[in-house]
Structures are given as C-alpha cells and as structure tokens.
Structure 1
Amino acid sequence: MTVHAHIADAIKVPDLVRLGPNLYVARFETMKVYSTLVAVERLLADGRIQPGATLMDSSSGIYAYALALACHKFGLKCHIVGSKTVDKTLMLQLRILGATIEQVEPQATLKMDQSLRVARIRELLDADPSVHWMQQYHDDIHYDGYEPVAQLLLDSIGGAALSVIGGVGSGCSTGGLARALRARDPAVELIGVQPFGSMTFGCQHIEDPGIIIAGIGSSIPFRNVRHGLYDEIHWVSFDYGLSGSIALLREHAVFAGLSTGCCYLVAQREAALRPERNIVFLAADTGHRYVDGVFAQHEQALALADLQPTRIDSLDRLVLPWSAMAWRRADFDDAAPAPQVLPLPALAAVS
C-alpha cells in the first residue's frame, strides 16, 4: 500500500470499474486534482509563481476544490470566484482549507454566470497584479496532468480498440487524456458530451428547459478546447442526464454527478452498439452535491433503454433532448454555421 504525503495525491487517482463486457468507468473523487497538481508544480518550478503566491480562478465546483487542495499542498494562497452552484458542503471545505471564495449573484443563463465571473476576476487582477490567474479555460498547462490516467487505462484495459467518453468543459480532461492515449495509439476515439446552451460546439441557440449542467459546457470561448481532438459529440439534456445518474447508481452502485449521468447515457449505448470496442467513460466527481437537484428526483428518471439520440449531420438540426453528431476531428470556427464533416452513417437501434 502506498503512503501519500498529502491527501491530494491519494484522491487524484481514479477507480477503474468494469460495468459490462466492454464498458468501464474511470471514477474520480474529484477529477481535476491531477491536472491542477501538475500545473501548480510546474508553475513553481518554472518561476512563474513564487512560494506563498495567491492563485485565483473561476469555478462552478470541481476545479475550486482541486485548486484549494493544490494550494494547501504547496503552501500557496487560493482565491475562488465561484458560481451559486458551489454548495454549502464544498464552501465549508474550501474555507477550512484556507481558500477565500466569493460567489457572483445567481444568473438566468450560463453565459451571464460565466461572463460575470470572468469580469470579476479581471477587476481583482487590476487591483492586485501579483495574483496569478490559473486560467483553467485557456492555459494549456492543464493538459499535462492526464498522462498518468492514460497510462492507467492502457495498463488495465487491453486488447480491443478504445473509445473514451467524457464531458468537454474546459477541454483539458478529455483533450489531455486523448492526447496522451493517442501518443501510443492514434486510433483511440474521443466522444465529447455537451449540455444544450453551450457554445463550444455550436449549441448556444438551444436552452435546456431543465437546469444548467455546470462544468461540461460553456457560453464563452474556451481556448483550451481543441475541437480537432473529438470524433463525435453528444448534446444531452438535464432530464436525460438525471436519468443516466439514477441508472448508474441503481444498476452499478456508482454514486456520481450529473455530468457522469450524461456520459453513462452515451457510454452504455455505445457499448451495446459496438461490442468490438472497449468503452471507458469519465465520472468527474461524486454525487454528493447533486442530492437535492438530481437524486431526490429519482422517481422521475426515465428508462435508458427507451432513450435514443437524434442523429444529425449539421448543427442547424440540433434538437432536445439528445442529439449526436460525427465530428471526425474537425476544426470549428465559432462564426460558422457548422463544421465541415461528412454525414453520419445510420446506426442500428439498441434492443
């Protein structure tokens, strides 16, 4: 058994669980700890930050906890500009860890929430330029921390071709993992999951009537998202994501967050349709902060066997509650109506 020098080193490693013949989940307690620890360590080593410096960023939850843990480990100060999705449990942990946190006022849309948080960060930087803005959305140093996760997957899952499914968010977790895996096998497939209302892959014109699925979408440009890494994109509604989270707990006893429910919805279908491939999906966090918003509504969950995506070949055909599109590692111009990709082949229904 390994004895760790800090709790962050212990909780950063995911648990890899086999859920079916070709279906696996990489379950993190909090996924962004890996990349944040590596980023902070390299910033210190390169002299970009000094011992005792204050690190700051915007977060809806997972990254805030990861940054607070990294600052605690390396003896740095931490300041978070958070959304109202940062719940009481996390808020108390952050404060006891020594982080300072301020929350912006609740906003009607993801765009307003993220824009307000970034504007506040710029105000703080103007007031104190010595503070280092981590820029999880824009600094590609956050890509570097996922190489050990890639090695874990390669060491643990062998044989068949591999597909990885995860929320896009800032782009670093799925992008960093795919980059590391493809250094060894360029054929590794990456399937990204997005919420409706996210501009990252051109869905800002469709708002989810449920709630914002925090953390996996964006209403402002994220430079760390490298569209050309993704083979396919799925857009999933809150109701379908909730159903995925409930099914994952009910069927496999895995208690994970809302974005994980979205990924499980996609992954279990991919595993059934493509038995020749190993399917791994990422569970970014536990389900604790979703108890009231998701798990308390378990009686409203839909049976996953009854849910099918609408297959589309252009972004102007996006439709709730679940759309899927072959991206084929295309680049994306935010001003363009659709990326240049080929039409999707027809897929058989899942029995």
Structure 2
Amino acid sequence: MHPHIAEAVKKPDLISLEPDLACLRFETMKIYSALGAVRHLLETGAVRPGDTLIDSSSGIYAQALALACHRYGMKCHIVGSTTVDRSTRVQLEILGATLEQVAPSKNLRLDQELRVRRIAEILAANPSYHWMRQYHDAIHYYGYREVAESIDADIPTGPLALVGGVGSGASTGALATYLREAGRDVTLVGVQPFGSVTFGSEHVADPDMIIAGIGSAIEFQNVRHDLYDRVHWVNFDSAVSGAVALLRTSGIFAGLSAGAAYLSALWERRGDGSRTYVFIAADTGHRYVESAYSRHEQALDIATLKPHEITSLDQLRHPWSTTAWPATA
C-alpha cells in the first residue's frame, strides 16, 4: 500500500512495442525529480516541514512539486508560464500551492527570463523561501535512481539505448548515469526542440513548438553534455506525427516529447540493431489534445520521415536533424 498518491502516480510502465523496443511511460515523470529533491533537502536539514519551496514551471514540474510538498508537509509557490493549463491550476489551488503566472510573452526565452526574474524578486522579499532550482541543481538527479534500477531489472542483459527529452538534464542524464554505474552499456540519445540553447540550436527557430520542457531558451546548469552520445532536434510537425503514430500503433497516449523520442528511437534502431531501445514518454497527451492531437488527420506518415545527418551545428535545419555528440562545430 502506498503512503501517498505521489508514490503511486510516479511509477512508470515499461511497455514492449517490439522485442528490442520499449516505451517507458509515465503519467508525470517529474514527480521522481521533485520527491527525490525534497526528500534530500529534508534529510540534510536544508529545509524543514512547513517551509515554503518555490520554483518556475511550465506545468508538469508545478504539479510534481505541489504533490511532493503535500507529501512532506511543505508549502509550495509556483511562478508559472502562461502555458499552465486550467486543469493544473485547479489542482494546484486544491493542493494548497500558490500560483502566479507571468505576463504572456512572444517567445520562450522571454517567458523563462520573466519567470526567473520574478523568483528573484520573491526571494528578496521572502529570504526564508527555498528555491528548488529545477533547471540548475543536481539534487534533481537523485529521484531517478529507483527508475534506473527498475529498467536494469526489467530489460534483459545487454547493450541499451536510452532515448528521451533532455529538459533540465535531470531525467535522461540521471537515468543513464545510474544505469552506467550499475554496469550497463548505455548509449544516451537526447531529444531537443529547435530554438533550444542547451545543445546549440538557438539560431534555428520553430514558432509552433510547444514542448518547451525538452529544451531551453536559457542555460540549464544541471545538463551534463558529456553524458550524451547523440542528439536529435525535432520540430513541431514531426513531433506531432510521431505522437499520432505512437498512439495509432501502440495505444500509448503521450505528450509531444514522446512523439519526438519515438521517431528518434526508430531511426537510431535502424542504424544499430545490437541494442535494446527504451524511449521515454514523460507525460500523457491530455494537455496536447487541442494544440496537437486535433491535427491528427494532417500527421505525416513517419515511414517517410528521416533526419538530416549533420556534422556541425551550422548545418541544423528543419524538420529534423541529428548528429553524434559533440558536434564538430
């Protein structure tokens, strides 16, 4: 029996699509990150029950941190993007978290900068608050050890390829780290949107991209670039096509980052069939229904899609590019 709903919701399902292809499907992946970080802060005495934890979020981490605070008796304050949907807002209110959303912005960079700037203002006025720094603090790696152990136990012995959104680096980076520490041969493939500074695609815009959680317009300090072996940049239309194909072929209803990871895993698998490929579906598809899934009739046949293989970042182009990391320039 679980002591709290957060402990139940966090657990992923490992779903076999082919003998050498599996989807690690979460309801909301960042609960692992939030629970592990809050637990570590309490154990080390950095915070105490009843303290207020604050952070910035575009939606998924906000819900995860609110549940972690509810689990451990903490207060929660979120500076949110305008993309935080009504369902999440209502849940935060009922859970006792406070949410303030920044003014609408024309681009992701301005939105993230406004949120970080607002956090600085709040901390100046409330020095007792603890900033969780999900984009910068390595404590967000800790919660994923349990996931890595379950992958190691469930996937047969042999080489692995882990494919998923980079985001803050605390998911794919942490999983690869713990799996490698356990002795597994792991190739790590990071998925990025165009326009993200994390792996140098800020010069290639994608105005339609709404999966900001897998990339960033500001520097994320807890991304360890040296952990990644390959990187894929996938645009909005290709991510939608991947997500629709994933739902159609497997029944897995997941977010756009899962669609991008699915495409990337299939491509990597064509080039190297010696590994078992595990791609990550970090959240469900519910918040993408209107913006993405409603366009399913326009989705492209993914069999016709293939990435541009590049050797330098100045060759990046739509709709999909990939390279061994680090790229040469």
For this structure pair, what is the TM-score category when the shorter chain's length is used for normalisation?
A: over 0.9
TM-fit CA distance, 1:177: 0.4
TM-fit CA distance, 1:274: 2.6
Is the contact between residue 313 and residue 325 of structure 1 (CA under 8 Å) also seen in structure 2? yes
Number of the residue aligned with 2:238: 240
Number of the residue aligned with 1:334: none
TM-fit CA distance, 1:267: 1.2
Measured in 2, the distance between the counterparts of 1:325 and 1:301 equals: 25
Aligned with 2:223 (options 222, 225, 229): 225
The percentage of counterpart residues that share the same residue type is: 58
**Match of 1:208, as an amino acid?**
D
TM-fit CA distance, 1:187: 2.9
Aligned with 1:125 (options 123, 126, 137): 123
Number of the residue aligned with 2:255: 257
Output one character per residue of 1:301-323: Cα deviation in whole Å (capped at 9) or x when no partner: 00100000000001011111100
Aligned with 1:16 (options 10, 14, 17): 14
TM-fit CA distance, 1:151: 0.8
Aligned with 1:151 (options 149, 159, 165): 149
Measured in 1, the distance between the counterparts of 2:221 and 2:157 equals: 34
1:29-108 equivalences in 2 (<5 Å):
29-108=27-106
Output one character per residue of 1:106-159: Cα deviation in whole Å (capped at 9) or x when no partner: 211111110010000001001111110000011100111111111111111113
Measured in 2, the distance between the counterparts of 1:312 and 1:321 equals: 13
Aligned-partner SS, 1:172: coil
Aligned-partner SS, 1:154: helix
Is the contact between residue 190 and residue 230 of structure 2 (CA under 8 Å) also seen in structure 1? yes
Output one character per residue of 1:256-287: Cα deviation in whole Å (capped at 9) or x when no partner: 00111111111122234332210001110001
Unaligned runs of 5+ in 2: none
Q: TM-score, normalised by structure 1?
A: 0.92
Is the contact between residue 110 and residue 212 of structure 1 (CA under 8 Å) also seen in structure 2? no
Measured in 2, the distance between the counterparts of 1:156 and 1:273 equals: 24
Q: Structure 1 residue 288 and structure 2 residue 281: aligned?
A: no
Output one character per residue of 1:6-56: Cα deviation in whole Å (capped at 9) or x when no partner: 000001110000011211000001001112111101101111111100001
Is the contact between residue 236 and residue 323 of structure 1 (CA under 8 Å) also seen in structure 2? yes
Is the contact between residue 208 and residue 238 of structure 1 (CA under 8 Å) also seen in structure 2? yes
Q: TM-score, normalised by structure 2?
A: 0.98
Measured in 2, the distance between the counterparts of 1:257 and 1:228 equals: 27
Number of the residue aligned with 2:182: 184
**Match of 2:84, as an amino acid?**
V
1:185-334 equivalences in 2 (<5 Å):
185=183, 187-327=185-325, 330=326
Number of the residue aligned with 1:336: none
Aligned-partner SS, 1:35: helix
Unaligned runs of 5+ in 1: 331-338, 342-351
Residue correspondences, number: 329
Measured in 2, the distance between the counterparts of 1:65 and 1:7 equals: 12
Structure having the larger proportion of residues in helix? 2
TM-fit CA distance, 1:166: 0.6
Is the contact between residue 175 and residue 226 of structure 1 (CA under 8 Å) also seen in structure 2? yes
Number of the residue aligned with 1:333: none
RMSD: 1.1
**Match of 1:226, as an amino acid?**
R
Measured in 2, the distance between the counterparts of 1:154 and 1:119 equals: 40
TM-fit CA distance, 1:84: 1.1
Output one character per residue of 1:66-109: Cα deviation in whole Å (capped at 9) or x when no partner: 10000001111001011111111111111111110011112111
Aligned-partner SS, 2:214: coil
Is the contact between residue 194 and residue 235 of structure 2 (CA under 8 Å) also seen in structure 1? yes
Is the contact between residue 160 and residue 184 of structure 2 (CA under 8 Å) also seen in structure 1? no
Is the contact between residue 311 and residue 328 of structure 2 (CA under 8 Å) also seen in structure 1? no
Number of the residue aligned with 1:166: 164
Number of the residue aligned with 1:346: none
Is the contact between residue 258 and residue 287 of structure 1 (CA under 8 Å) also seen in structure 2? yes
Measured in 2, the distance between the counterparts of 1:131 and 1:230 equals: 34
**Match of 2:38, as an amino acid?**
V
Query: Quick check: 108-117 or 262-271, which moved more?
Result: 262-271
